[in-house]
Amino acid sequence: MPMKKSNSYIPLSYKLFISYLLMVMTPVIVIGSFAYVSSVNSSEQHTRSNLEIAVKQIGNNVDYRLADVIRGSEDIYADQPLSGILSGYYLDYEKYTITSQYILPKIESAANLPNIDVKLSVYLSNTNISEFYYLDRVVNPGDSRQYSIFHLDRISNSKWYKDMNEYMNYETIEWKQIDSDATNARISLLRPIINYHTLSPIGLMNFNVKLQDIFYDVDFTKLGKDSLLFVVDGNNHLLYTSSRSDSKLLPFAQGSSVNQPEGYMQIKQPISNMNASIIAWIPNSSFQENSQKVRNITILICLASLLVLTLISWTISRYFSKRILKLIRSLKTFKEGNFQKRMPVQGKDEFSQIGEAFNDMASNMEKLIDEVYLSKLEKKDVELQVLHSQMNPHFLYNTFSSISRMAQLGEIEKMHEMVRELAKFYRLSLNKGEMIISIEKELQIIQSYVDIQRIKFADRVIVNYEVCEETLKYETVKFILQPFVENILEHAWYDDEIHVVIRLFFEGDEICMEVQDNGIGMKEELIEQILTLSEKGVGYGIRNVDQRIKLQFGKAYGVSITSSVGEGTTVRIRFPKFNR
């Protein structure tokens, strides 16, 4: 009973188009998403890197100014002669000379720092040295330096001095806000003056400087809208903030400790010459402006790509579907017994090669049918059986079904490869209708057949060739290896993979071909049925090979089979060395 046509029939061109469209959309969406995420991340990393470089440069500039102050303190700290003078005892008439000619010039030089407002106070434990107040000196116009000499007992009761005195040694150097420094926006560099004979402190120097002079770059650098740039000390307390920063963020930076607000990125740069850090808060929204631009551009590119690729997919699907449908219609006609039907051939690709092979096959079939009815019925009947095996409509129809399925799945490369190998297989196997071919060509036929099956079975078929090159120059009956390999692929599967070894070698004056597999194997009773039964059924193709060899070379030659259940099967084909 003829099968009714399904109401859910979808043309092959639509299936191909849908599969191509899915194949196109997936990479476009994936690549577009990846490009968007990568671009946004790259943009954010680039922006963050630039901000980190800017903050680091600010830190370097601050360190440079701090180093200037530290170098000024080195002028006093490292001056051993001055240390000796400050430790000495002097008569009253000597004090003025010592102070004015030796001590004050050294202190004045140390306080001479470019672009920094310095108030230098030197506290001495030696009360024999007279105190000096900066108001006592003659000030030149434009000279804002202030330096004084005091006795240490003026600060000995100060809390900050008592705290510092507990850990102070000859290496101590500390930046600290003392007395009214915080109120006046200043900070002090505190460092002992050392007796180089005993390495014990004989006094203390205080370089008191404006925070604005030290953190000039913090005050005049703007990192972006709604950003905040400030300095915290080692205890995470606010030390200095830019006057240009967003006032809305100041409450987060003030108080007992600094707390980063939500929605802001933080960049922190330690200051080498001070126990402090520069911190920048930049709103995350500043990164999103570039992200939105990248997103819009990515969407436009993806939409344009989808439109172009959709048109290309539709064109390709229509092209391939038309050619495949022509092949299928011709095959159906051939299957119904109309051997006069010829396939129109256009172009020089694999489809045209299949068309030419099909037409040659149909012509050869017509010719052989005529010859069977005219003469040599037995031999020509066998040859006709061979031709049926060559063209094998079942194999051909299954192969085209596989090609159609690959086209639906969008596996274009595999589809092209299978079409190529199928064209090669029929070009070699038809061979102008000749029944005797070279062993080399017979080997090429089986190699082409195996390549088709490899594509079909996704490389689960593993075939090795052990060929004596000298055998290839002789001739044999055509199409004697393929039935055995086909039989293995249909009946011998034992595991996910099957291994086949094809051997060609000499045995005396004979040529031997062996086809060995590691499949499920056969019982002796089945082997006997294959080689003895005359009707069509079990082992029909194998008996056909045996019969053709005997007809061509004599009954001494033919096919033998050895097999064990679970251990595989070995087929041996024997025939004499032969050349026409």
Q: What is the pLDDT of residues 177-210, one digit of tens each?
A: 999 998 998 999 999 999 988 888 999 999 999 9
The model carries a pTM of 0.48
What is the predicted pLDDT for the residue at 67? 92
| Cβ(460)–Cβ(497) below 8 Å | yes
pLDDT tier, 66 (very low <50, low <70, confident <90, very high otherwise): very high
**133: exposed, middle or buried (Cβ count in 10 Å: 0-12, 13-18, 19+):** exposed
> Which has more pLDDT, 103 or 139?
103
Q: Which of 130, 134, 137 is nearest to 96 (CA)?
A: 130
580 CB neighbour count, 10 Å cutoff: 4
Least confident range of 10-24, 60-74, 269-283:
10-24
| Cβ(218)–Cβ(229) below 8 Å | yes
DSSP states along 95-123: HHHHIIIIIHHHHHHHT--TT--EEEEEE
What is the predicted pLDDT for the residue at 1? 42
Token pair for 251: 């409450």
pLDDT tier, 391 (very low <50, low <70, confident <90, very high otherwise): very low
pLDDT tier, 411 (very low <50, low <70, confident <90, very high otherwise): confident
> Which has more pLDDT, 120 or 26?
120
Q: What angle do CA 575, 577, 580 make, to 5 degrees?
A: 110
What is the predicted pLDDT for the residue at 247? 52
Q: Provide the mean pLDDT of the chain.
A: 80
What is the dihedral angle through the alpha carbons of 67, 70, 75, 81, rounded to the nearest 10 degrees? Answer: -140
Cα gap 400→251, rounded to integer Å: 76
Give the strand pairing for 200-210 and 436-438. Answer: unpaired
Helical spans, DSSP H, in 472-569: 482-491, 524-532, 540-553
What is the predicted pLDDT for the residue at 154? 92
Report, as an integer, the average pLDDT of 61-78. Answer: 92
First to last CA, the chain: 51
What is the predicted pLDDT for the residue at 188? 94
What is the predicted pLDDT for the residue at 270? 93
pLDDT tier, 238 (very low <50, low <70, confident <90, very high otherwise): confident
Least confident range of 159-163, 229-233, 555-559:
229-233
Residue 407 has pLDDT above 60, yes or no: yes
Residue 518 has pLDDT above 70, yes or no: yes
Cα gap 84→106, rounded to integer Å: 13
Residues 6 or more apart whose Cβ sits within 8 Å of residue 552: 436, 477, 575
Percent of the chain with pLDDT over 70: 82
Residue 513 has pLDDT above 90, yes or no: yes
| Cβ(565)–Cβ(521) below 8 Å | yes
Residue 475 has pLDDT above 90, yes or no: yes
Token pair for 416: 């092209």
Tell me which range, 345-354, 392-401, 487-496, is most confidently predicted by mean pLDDT: 487-496
Least confident range of 58-62, 365-369, 498-502:
365-369
pLDDT tier, 227 (very low <50, low <70, confident <90, very high otherwise): confident
Residue 136 has pLDDT above 60, yes or no: no
Residue 381 has pLDDT above 70, yes or no: no
CA distances from 360 to 212, 334, 376, 387, 428 (A): 97, 12, 22, 12, 12
Percent of the chain with pLDDT over 90: 21
pLDDT tier, 377 (very low <50, low <70, confident <90, very high otherwise): very low
Q: pLDDT tens-digit profile of 433-452? A: 677 889 999 999 898 888 88
Q: pLDDT tens-digit profile of 38-51? A: 777 777 777 788 88
Q: What angle do CA 520, 524, 525 make, to 5 degrees?
A: 110
Question: Up-side HSE of residue 478: CA atoms within 13 Å toward CB?
Answer: 23
Q: pLDDT tens-digit profile of 146-184? A: 889 999 999 999 999 999 988 888 888 999 999 999 899
Residue 533 dihedral angles phi and psi, to the nearest 5°? -65, 140
Q: pLDDT tens-digit profile of 448-466? A: 888 888 888 877 888 999 9
Sheet of 558-564: strand order equals 461-467, 498-507, 510-517, 568-576, 558-564
| Cβ(476)–Cβ(512) below 8 Å | no
Report, as an integer, the average pLDDT of 100-120. Answer: 88
The 10 Å CB-count burial string (b at 16+, else e) for 212-234 is ebbbbbbbebebeebbbbbbbbe
What is the predicted pLDDT for the residue at 150? 93
Residue 256 has pLDDT above 70, yes or no: no
Residues 6 or more apart whose Cβ sits within 8 Å of residue 191: 73, 77, 172, 173, 174, 204, 205, 207
Report, as an integer, the average pLDDT of 251-271. Answer: 72
The 10 Å CB-count burial string (b at 16+, else e) for 410-439 is bbbebbebbbbbbbbbbbbbbbebebebbb
522 CB neighbour count, 10 Å cutoff: 21
What is the predicted pLDDT for the residue at 12? 63
Is the domain spanning 460-580 CATH 1.25.40.80? The answer is no
